[in-house]
Structure 1
Amino acid sequence: MNPDISDLLIHTKSEIELLTQQSNNGEINKVSLKNILENLRSILDYHSEDISIKLKEKQISVPDKVYFPYEQRENHFKKSIDKNLPKLKKINNNLYTVIENAQPFKAHDNWIIDLCSLTNEAKHNHLSKTENQKSVTVRQGNFIHIEGGRNITLYNNYANGVRLDDVFVDNNGEVNIVKHSDTTLVIEKHRIMFDGKSVEVIPFLNKCHEKMTTLTENITEQFAKF
């Protein structure tokens, strides 16, 4: 494995863990998020550069600057391969297949498209906008258990003759408790989403790292057979 790629995988894993800890408090560092996205994206182009060097050694004309091929549709992918890594299928069909299998039309998963799209946006336009979707779980002994709720009102409730706390949860997940018996347990959970997308940040980053690790292992195995 290219040692630079290995370093990036190790570093991004550590950065994702730090970002995960931050997300538990309902916020994340957008600059750190940008760096993680860019570092994961760089791994793809490092692979392309390594492959292009091998193709040049076989007297294949390759552009000075190459990019890792990723496309939604198969015909677009083939054009991208021909442009960036020409004749790869003929020279090393197994390696071509590894790259092809990572594409949405084969993998039935858009992770590679989403990663590159989010990275380009963060790199060229603005830091990734995120949205904190907070949910609240309210428990009062063995009597009341409401999970993931908003707009909750618990008022003037009794259990075994004892008045339970009054609990009010607004639409933003903010909690207000008027104590009577001090029996209320409130658990807050945070889901940090990419703004305008149904993609949760931390699970997405973990998924990309896992997919990238597997892709790297497969590319490395076939690259050795050039």
Structure 2
Amino acid sequence: MNQEDIYDLLKEVDSSITKAQRVNQITKPKVKTILEHLRSSLEYLAHDINDNFSKPNEKIFYFPFGNERLVFEESVKRNMPLLKDEFSIVYELISDLQPFSCGDDWLTIMCKLTNQAKHTKPIGILEEEVTESVLISAGGINLVEFGGNGSGIEFSGNTYNGVPFDDLAINDGVVDVIKKGLMTTDFEVKKKNQLSIDGNNYLLFPFLRKCYNNISALIPKVYEELNKASQSDDKS
């Protein structure tokens, strides 16, 4: 079976994502390779599932997916018609990954992006500067640090040894003084570059990591069921 080859692909994916996240940079060809490795992991798995059917499908088939249950069921019927009858637990494991089950379309987006990168055009990567945190200090003393863009936060009514600080309002990482105090309040806005997938509401690295984590969790569970069936056949 393809289990060890799948683990080799996933190990490479994990390493590539980790290295790219460390420097917060990645090329389009590297994203394409990561997605293809992830997709190949599922296709290798699909072939092993098919090989364990009582009557393996001789036609070209793919790992089933679909945004809607009906689309998914049609994909199962087309690619793995015996799945539900002969490996019901594997069927449920694959079904649980689908958007109509888990409420997340990561699988269908991953498959769509892989097809796009392979056949039509590179994956668009958007880079934007966002606020990582806002540090507020006064008199050389760090008072508080807000993570993210700190939207809708007010810092008011604060004093040090009875001396009032400036009152501040923080929105989308922008700090405004709404009332001057006797002690001037300083603030430092830390920025970072954020990568997202063009045309999708997904940040690039969290999306790739989610795909990796979900597929990595699926693989051993499916092979456990395939091995059980194989051992059962050996005893009979």
Distance 1:186 1:106 in 2: 40
C-alpha change, 1:224 and 1:189, in structure 2 (3 Å) is same
Paired with 1:138 and 1:109, the residues of 2 have a C-alpha distance of: 31
1:88 aligns with 2:83: yes
Q: Which residue is equivalent to 1:198?
A: 201
Question: Contact 2:134 / 2:188 at 8 angstroms: preserved in 1?
Answer: yes
What letter is aligned with 1:71?
G
Q: Secondary structure at the match of 2:228?
A: coil
**Gaps spanning 5+ residues in structure 1: where?**
165-182
Amino acid aligned to 1:108: G
Aligned CA distance change for structure 1 residues 159 and 117 (closer, same or farther; 3 Å): farther
Is the Cα–Cα contact under 8 Å of residues 37 and 119 in structure 1 kept in the other structure? Answer: yes
- The residue aligned with 1:6 is 7
Partner of 1:142: 138
Query: Map of 1:69-148 to 2, 5 A cutoff?
Result: 69-136=64-131, 137=133, 139=135, 141-142=137-138, 148=149
Over 3 Å counting, the alpha-carbon distance change for 1:124 and 1:152 in structure 2 is farther
How many pairs are equivalent?
Answer: 198
In angstroms, what is the RMSD of aligned CA positions? 2.7
Shift of 1:141: 4.0
Determine if contact 1:62/1:85 at 8 Å carries over to the other structure: yes
Give percent identity, aligned residues only: 28
Which structure 2 segments of 5+ residues have no match?
A: 150-171, 230-236
C-alpha distance in 2, partners of 1:111/1:218?
A: 19
Partner of 1:42: 40
Deviation at 1:140, TM superposition (A): 6.8
TM-score, length of structure 2 as denominator length:
0.73
Q: Which amino acid aligns with 1:96?
A: Y
Deviation (angstroms), 1:221: 1.5
SS in 2 for 1:192: strand
Q: Which structure 1 residue ranges, 4+ long, deviate > 3 Å from structure 2?
A: 136-141, 143-154, 157-161, 183-186
CA distance in 2, matches of 1:188, 1:22: 15
**How big is each residue's C-alpha offset from its partner over 1:183-224, in whole Å with a ceiling of 9 and x where there is no partner?**
885522122011122110001111111111111122112121
In structure 2, C-alpha distance between the alignment counterparts of 1:184 and 1:76, rounded to whole Å: 52
Give, in whole Å, the separation in 1 of the partners of 2:206 and 2:190.
20
TM-score (normalised: structure 1) = 0.76
